[in-house]
Amino acid sequence: MASISNLSSPITPLKSSPSLPTPPTAAVYLGFPAKLALASSRLTVRATVPLAASLLVKCSQNGGNGSHVKRTTLHDLYEKQGQSPWYDNLCRPVTDLIPLIESGVRGVTSNPAIFQKAISTSNAYNDQFRDLVQGGKDIESAYWELVVKDIQDACRLFEPIYDETDGGDGYVSVEVSPRLADDTQGTVDAAKWLHKVVDRPNVYIKIPATAACVPSVKDVISLGISVNVTLIFSLSRYEAVIDAYLDGLEASGLHDLSRVTSVASFFVSRVDTLVDKLLEKIGTPEALDLRGKAANAQAALAFQLYQKKFSGPRWEALVKKGAKKQRLLWASTSVKNPAYPDTLYVAPLVGPDTVSTMPDQALQAFIDHGTVGRTIDSNVSEAEGIYSALEKLGIDWSYVGSQLELEGVDSFKKSFDSLLDSLQEKANSLKLVNL
C-alpha cells in the first residue's frame, strides 16, 4: 500500500471532536448523486503503454493496496490535448488513489452509490462511525462526518495538482442533496454549509442543473464558492448553466476571480439509453441506424456552444479580472449497451479545456486501448446532421432533457435514502442503536 508520508501535503485526520456544525436548517439535507454505480470495487488497469506493474485500486476492509505505475495514455490526454481525466470513485483508504494520481488521474467525483458500497462493505469506517453514534450523532449527521473526512483527505491528495495548475485542476466534488432539487434557497444554504465544513480550496460543491437550482448556481458562484453543476442533459439547459456562471462572476464584486472556478457536467451515455429506446419504437431502418449516435452528437454541439459563450466582449471583461472558463465535464461515460465500444463516451469527446470523469470500466478501457487525439470537433457537420435527423424522426430534444433530469433526480433521491438505510443497518449490526 502506498504511504502518505511521501506526499508533500500529508493528510490531517478529521477529529471526531469538535464535530461538524449542524446544517443551517433541519430541512437542509446534503447528499451525492447516485447513478453510475460501479460494477466492481476493483480497478485493474492494463495499458498499451508498458507499465512497471498492473494498477490495482481496491476498496479494502483492512487497508487497501495499489501498485505504482509509469506513464499512461492519461498523461497524454492532458498534456497533448488539454483534457483532464478524473476518476469516479472514492473509498477508504483514500491513499489507494495515489497510484491513480501517478497514472494521470487529476480529480475525483463521487456519488451515494459509491459511498453506500464503501461504507456498507468495508470495516474501514467502523471505528469513526462507532464513535460518532456513541457520541450521540444521528445517522445522517454521522454519515456527513464520514463523507467529509473522505472528501477532505482526497482533497489533500489532489492539492499538489491544484497548486501546480494555479487552481485549474485537482478538484474533488461533493453534491448537495437531491432532496433540494426544487429548492433554490435551500440549495444555496446547503452549498455554503458544505463548503464551510469541508474547508479545502480544491473542493467542488455539486449543484443539479434543475430549473430551481440554476439560480442557485449564480448565487453560490457570486459568494466565491466553486461549483460543479451536474445533471445537464440538453443544450438549452447547458446554456442556462453557462449564463448562471457568468452572472455569478459579474455579481460577485470580487476584483480577483481566479479562485472561483466551475465545471458543467454534461451527461452522455444516458442520452443514448433513452433515445435508442425511442428510435427502436420508430423502427425504421433510418431510425435504427441512428442508435448510439445521439449522445456524442449533442456533446459535440455542446462544445461548440462552450466555445461561443466563452468568447466576445462580455467574457473578455471577466478575463481581465482573472476569470477562468467553466470547463465542460463529460459525465456518465460508462457504456450501458454492451454492443457498443467500451470507450464510446470517452474517445470521441477529447478536446481542450474539458474534463472526462470515468468509472472503473471506462478508465480501464481507455488506459488499455484508448487513443489520444482531438475528436470533439473533428466533424461538427456530422454532429449537426445527426441532431437534425433525430428531430426530423420525431425525437423531441426538450423531452429527452427533461425526462432524463426527472429520472436522474429521482434516482439520486432513492440512492441517498438507501444510503442512510445502509448506515442504519450498519449501526444496528454494531449494536449501537436500538430499534
User: Is residue 90 within 8 Å of residue 11, measured between CB atoms?
Assistant: no
Percent of the chain with pLDDT over 70: 83
User: Is residue 181 within 8 Å of residue 238, measured between CB atoms?
Assistant: no
CA-closest candidate to residue 36, choices 117, 105, 101, 92:
117
Handedness of CA 169, 174, 176, 182 (dihedral sign): positive
Specify the higher pLDDT residue, 92 or 45.
Answer: 92
Mean pLDDT of 75-81: 97
Ordered by where they begin, the domains of the chain are: 73-434 (3.20.20.70)
> Residue 9 corresponds to which cell in the numbers above?
501535503
Helix (H), strand (E) at residue 228: strand 227-232
CA atoms within 13 A on the CB side of 26: 1
- 353, exposed or middle or buried, with CB in 10 Å at 0-12, 13-18, 19+? middle
- 71, exposed or middle or buried, with CB in 10 Å at 0-12, 13-18, 19+? middle
What is the reported pTM? 0.85
Q: First-to-last CA distance in the chain?
A: 39
93-113 pLDDT, tens digit each: 999 999 999 999 999 998 777
Is residue 15 flagged as an active site residue? no
316-333 pLDDT, tens digit each: 999 999 999 999 999 999
Mean pLDDT of 386-413: 96
User: Is residue 95 within 8 Å of residue 3, measured between CB atoms?
Assistant: yes
User: Is residue 400 within 8 Å of residue 233, measured between CB atoms?
Assistant: yes
pLDDT at 244: 98
Is a pLDDT exceeding 90 seen at residue 120? Answer: no
Which residue among the candidates 58, 149, 206, 309 is catalytic per the annotation? Answer: 206
